[in-house]
Amino acid sequence: MARAMRRLRGDETGIGLVELVFAMSLLALAIAAQLSVFASSYTSLHRASIKGTAVTVADKQMEVYRSVTYTCIYLTAATGDSTYTGDTAYSGSQVTGSSCSPNTAPPTSSTTSTQTVVGPDHRSYRIDSYITSTTPTGGGGGTAPTSRAAVVSETAS
């Protein structure tokens, strides 16, 4: 009996190897989890960077429209492609033609429906402008509302 007890207590060969394999497996799982977190963080930051730049490019285009008078907001003949005309913001009643006074000409970037610009990150961004004529209601100023052009949507992608 004593001999059997001594044999059971003393035979630990291979236990260190089992512990080593278990520890390496846990370490491999932890490293794999860490790498997946880094990869998803990189993708998320990259996508956010592109969207932030697109917003900046679209805002710059909106500033062009803010700098011209209402009578100078128009689009030249629709220069958009099927992506432009297939957008839900597009309507067949896009404001076209010039009603701007002859001495002031709006910048070309405000009269082009589709254009591609290079952003500060050196990527190309497509800007689609959609303009419709709206008649404001209410106000009660005693004068009849007039129809004015308004930029409905500006998209950059």
Whole-number pLDDT of residue 9: 65
Whole-number pLDDT of residue 11: 65
Instruction: Starting at the earlier edge strand, list the strands of the sheet with 124-134.
Output: 114-118, 124-134, 148-156
pTM here? Answer: 0.60
* Residue (of 105, 113, 155, 145) closest to 131 by Cα position: 113
At 59-85, the pLDDT tens digits run 888 888 888 877 777 777 655 677 777
The predicted model gives 80-97 an average pLDDT of 71
Range of weakest confidence among 11-15, 16-20, 38-42: 11-15
The predicted model gives 131-156 an average pLDDT of 58
Three-state DSSP class for 146?
Answer: coil
* Contact in structure between 84 and 128 (CB atoms under 8 Å): yes
Integer Cα distance of 87 and 103 in angstroms = 34
At 41-53, the pLDDT tens digits run 999 999 999 999 9
